[in-house]
Chain A
Amino acid sequence: MKYVVLVGAALAALAAALLVGPANLPLAELPGSAIVWQLRLPRAVLAFLVGGALGVAGTSLQALVRNPLADPFLLGLSGGAGLGAVAAIALHLPGPWALPLAAFVGAVGAMALVYRLGLVGGAELDPRILLLGGVAVGALAGAITTAIVSLAEATELRNAFLWLWGGFSGASWTTVLVMLAYAPLPLGVLVAAARPLDLLALGEEPAQYLGADVPRLKRIVYLAASLLTAAAVAVAGVIGFVGLVVPHVCRLLWGRLHRTLLPTAFLTGGILLAAADTLARTVVAPRELPVGIVTALVGVPVFAFLLRRWTVS
């Protein structure tokens, strides 16, 4: 039943994204229009895929660090991606893929550093060390980014930040294909880890007694969720609140079992981000809002509501 509702909502969100836009196309012209095929459709599909990826990554990381405030970008990834993007512009790296690739490399670099910190002294990805390491690495990347911005020519670097908080302006079939080719592997790995993730919620020792290979599980989940987030950053920049709020919404509505939680988080994240992007494109037309602003405007009140519910119950 829930899947019927979610798939229906997903189709509705995608249809809305195709039908409305600043160009005001008449309905009869829609099927043959390059605006629909080359701009609206790839953009809607990419927003859906990125939203789904962030929803799944957020769900998995919250289970991994057993912290409801965990967000895919919390573990230093946004700082690393920002550093990569700013470095690509400051070094004048050529080519259309320089910026996304550099952001991806920066995010993966930050992830690797946090991962290494998480293994220091046999800590085996202790959640507290991961969170602290993520904050520390994020601060380091932020400091280096600021140093580059203050030393290099400033005009173009402002645009690096715009890109970093940008959204789906650069969506094309190429970026959709990149995401379609890349995302299934980490997504599959996380879905396959659904049952052990349920056990992990009981605590690391009980999970171990119940037969989960906890150290291996933590490594796989951490790497898969981070690589998924790094790809999302590369094609869409840092988009907050989807990965934080979607897992909570799904848990409240459909329970805590990851076998259900992961697919519903994918669909809910996709619906939310596709709808948010449609709003971002249309509400202030002819101008456009960065999609991260729309997700935050929707996400913060939802989050405040959830916090209130928790503290009451």
Chain B
Amino acid sequence: MRRWTVRTHLAGLVALATVACARGEHATAVGPAVTDDAGRRVALAAPARRIVSLLPSFTEILFAIGAGDRLVGRTAWCDYPPAALAVPSVGDGMPPNVEAVAARRPDLVVLYRSGPNATAAQQLERLGIPTVLFDLNRLDELAPAARRLGVLTGRGAAGDSLARAMDSLASQRPEPLAPGPKSIVFVVWDNPPIVIGAGSYLDRLAGLAGARNVFHDIATASAQVSIETIAARNPDFIAVLSDTATPPRYAGRPEWRVVPAVRNRRFLFLPGRLFGRPGPRAAEAVRELRRVLEATP
């Protein structure tokens, strides 16, 4: 792992040096520089002007800090804000199509830190294209990403201001819900049942909205549990990421009807575009979840 990081770092430096030499410029270390979540130092000759974003969350952040007009590529999933749809898509980004990304001639590619993306970043660096790898699984990872994207795009003030807003949201103490305490379970798959645990963005959103995730004791982002455990925890609501109000397909199955909230059809339908990814609209998602919780008797 460490050796790999060092190698990537070296590859990046070599690539950057090559680009600088080729241009015959003496631009060294005057441009913006950050350390990404893979531990690499990323230094640009000048604020990025042609950016490819390979995660919907990064696209939203870039638009929120006023750098949306610098985007020259996005993934097929980047559908917010609506202006993002005007940016050419480079595919679904899982894993990134390196040629399609390079063809946009970017001067910065922003990737979510994962194994396949780290490999893609390495390949892009070999082509002389600077890349950054950021973590973005939880609410508290939004602020550092926003701050560093601000630096890299020369929109430092806007990045800081978004980061402060995200930090203050993350440290908020929720008001108690008007109808009294509510508990909730996020069921992301039914067979085998997979639920959301404490190490996730959704768990934090639920907490900020004043609800208790009944699987808050599970430290990971998600986990396989049995229907029996869900029934025993007896949540008030089943939260479903869905753009329509159709009950999930397992709602009518006898084994699932042992869970009282399923039997009584206590489903909360949360639009995937707002709740499915961490982003600058986290406060809006919290308000929406709170509204739905208070509106459902």
Cα distance, A23 to B234, chains bound together (Å): 10
Contact A22 B257 (CB under 8 A): no
Are A24 and B232 in contact (CB-based, < 8 A)? yes
Closest to A40 in B: B228
- The answer to the question of A290 belonging to the interface, with a C-beta cut-off of 8 Å to chain B, is yes
* Nearest-neighbor residue (CB-CB) of A94 within chain B: B249
A77-106 interface code vs B (CB 8 A; 1 in, 0 out): 000000000000000001110010000000
* Pairs across A and B, CB under 8 Å, 17 listed: A22-B225, A22-B228, A23-B232, A35-B228, A35-B231, A38-B257, A39-B226, A96-B250, A96-B253, A166-B191, A169-B226, A169-B227, A170-B192, A286-B215, A288-B192, A288-B225, A290-B224
Q: Is the CB of A154 within 8 A of B224?
A: no
A269 close to chain B: CB less than 8 A: no
Tell me if A96 and B249 are in contact (CB < 8 A): yes
Tell which of A38, A163, A169, A289 has the most Cβ of chain B within 10 Å. Answer: A169
B292 touches A (CB below 8 Å): no
Q: Which of B192, B227, B233 is A163 in contact with, Cβ under 8 Å?
A: B192
Q: Is the interface of A mostly helix, strand, loop or mixed?
A: loop
Q: How far is the CB of B98 from chain A (nearest CB, A)?
A: 15
Q: Is the CB of B228 within 8 A of A171?
A: no
- Contacting A287 at CB < 8 Å: which of B189, B224, B227, B255? B224
Residues of chain B lying within 8 A (CB to CB) of residue A136: none
In this complex, how many residues of chain B approach chain A with their Cβ under 8 Å: the count is: 29
* CB within 8 Å of B: which A292-307 residues: none
Q: List A146-160 residues whose CB lies under 8 Å from chain B.
A: 153-154, 159
Contact with B along A21-60 (1 / 0, CB 8 A): 1111000000000110011101000000000000000000
Establish whether residues A286 and B255, one from each chain, have CB atoms under 8 Å apart when the complex forms. no
Choice from B189, B191, B215, B231 contacting A23 with Cβ under 8 Å: B231
**Across the interface, which residues of A come within 8 angstroms of B231, CB to CB?**
23, 34-35, 39
Interface string of A149-186 (1 = CB under 8 A from B): 00001100001001100110111111000000000000
Q: Cβ of A218 < 8 Å from any Cβ of B?
A: no
Residues of A112-171 contacting chain B, CB below 8 A: 153-154, 159, 162-163, 166-167, 169-171
- A154 and B255 CA atoms in complex are apart in Å by 28
Interface string of B166-198 (1 = CB under 8 A from A): 000000000000000000000001111110000
* Chain B contact residues, majority secondary structure: mixed
Is B258 interfacial (CB-CB < 8 Å)? yes
Tell me if B83 is interfacial: C-beta within 8 Å of chain A: no
* B227 and A39 within 8 A (CB): yes
**Count of A-B contacts judged by CB separation below 8 Å:** 90
How far is A281 from B192 in the complex, measured between Cα atoms in Å? Answer: 12
Q: Which chain A residue lies CB-closest to B249?
A: A96
Q: How far apart sit A286 and B193, CA to CA, in the bound complex (Å)?
A: 12
Per the bound structure, the CA–CA distance linking A171 and B250 in Å amounts to 12
Q: Do the beta carbons of B191 and A288 come within 8 Å of each other?
A: no
CB neighbours (8 Å) of B257 from chain A are 38
- A290 close to B229 (CB less than 8 A): no
Q: Contact check: which of A99, A174, A288 meets B254 at CB < 8 Å?
A: A174
B267 CB to nearest chain A CB (Å): 17
Q: In the bound complex, do residue B225 and residue A170 qualify as a contact, i.e. CB atoms below 8 Å apart?
A: no
Q: State which of B192, B218, B252, B258 has its C-beta within 8 Å of the C-beta of A169.
A: B192
> Which of B92, B191, B223, B254 lies at the interface centre, i.e. has the most chain A CB atoms within 10 A of its CB?
B191
Determine if B99 is an interface residue (Cβ-Cβ < 8 Å). Answer: no
Whole-angstrom distance between the alpha carbons of A290 and B257 in the complex? 22
Q: How far is the CB of B190 from chain A (nearest CB, A)?
A: 8
A34–B224 CB distance below 8 A: no
Q: Do B232 and A35 have beta carbons less than 8 Å apart?
A: yes
A286 CB contact (under 8 Å) in B192, B194, B217, B253? B217
Given contacts A96-B250, A170-B192, 18 further A-B contacts (CB under 8 A): A21-B228, A38-B257, A39-B228, A39-B255, A94-B249, A154-B92, A154-B94, A159-B194, A163-B191, A163-B192, A169-B226, A170-B190, A170-B255, A174-B254, A281-B228, A286-B215, A287-B225, A288-B224
